[in-house]
Amino acid sequence: MDSMTHPSWKKHIPLIQSGYARDVLLKTRALRKTRTIFPEDGKVFYALDILPFDHVRVVILGQDPYHGEGQAHGLAFSVPQGITAPPSLKNIFKEITADCACPETRSTDLSDWAEQGVLLLNASLTVEKGKPGSHKTLGWHLLTDQIISELSVKRKNLVFMLWGAHAQSKKNLIQPDNHLVLTAPHPSPLSAYRGFLGCRHFSKANGYLKTHGVSPVIWA
């Protein structure tokens, strides 16, 4: 477990310190004996490995990892390079292009965002193949809620992007006076045209960061 996350998360997140996160991981390992679970074991905590706690600038919250073969790799909304962008990611790119006048073509692997301080966190860190929401009662939500809460309490001037009803249900974990909270419909094709497209969250995030003396994120 210690080798799967950056040490700073263990320092700041009590449920990692206590071994709770390890116990939930062990549950998924037991399930892998008879079921296909995404992402692969070594990528479950990738979002917390690639980005230290103190380097977070933006939080984008997803619900589940992708449940299709080869898609999930531990970062919300991201898929490995070479994998076709899922519909939600295509709409995210469409909004970035319109909002920031960025090129339309870019990598589907959002690791470069994470390296710039964007925490791409799913509420559930694992999922069973073909079964969205299958691990919502496994215990991950307690951990990821605490991550959001501890970032809100211990950091200042972060940007939280909450897309869709599930992400917005976490709004009460965030202290709005200390951070920028942006809400919009989910980028899924079922809801993107109800307000995600045109929300301008990416330029708003960069404007807020610059106002507080923080370098903007290069989105493309």
Residue 197 CB neighbour total at 10 angstroms: 18
Peptide bond into 14 cis (omega under 30): no
What is the reported pTM? 0.96
- For the chain, 220 residues long, the average pLDDT of each consecutive 10-residue run is 85 96 97 98 97 98 96 98 95 95 84 97 97 96 98 98 96 96 97 97 98 95
Exactly one of 2, 23, 49, 64 is catalytic; which is it? 64
Q: Is position 64 annotated as part of the catalytic site? A: yes
Given this model, what pLDDT does residue 1 score?
Answer: 60
Alpha carbons 141 and 126: distance in angstroms, whole number: 11
Where residue 139 falls (left for φ over 0; alpha for ψ -120 to 50; beta otherwise) is left
**Reduced to 3 states, what is the DSSP secondary structure of residue 75?**
coil
Alpha carbons 12 and 80: distance in angstroms, whole number: 29
Given this model, what pLDDT does residue 115 score?
Answer: 97
Given this model, what pLDDT does residue 2 score?
Answer: 65
Tell me the two tokens of residue 203. 């330029």
Q: Is-contact 4 126, C-beta < 8 A?
A: no
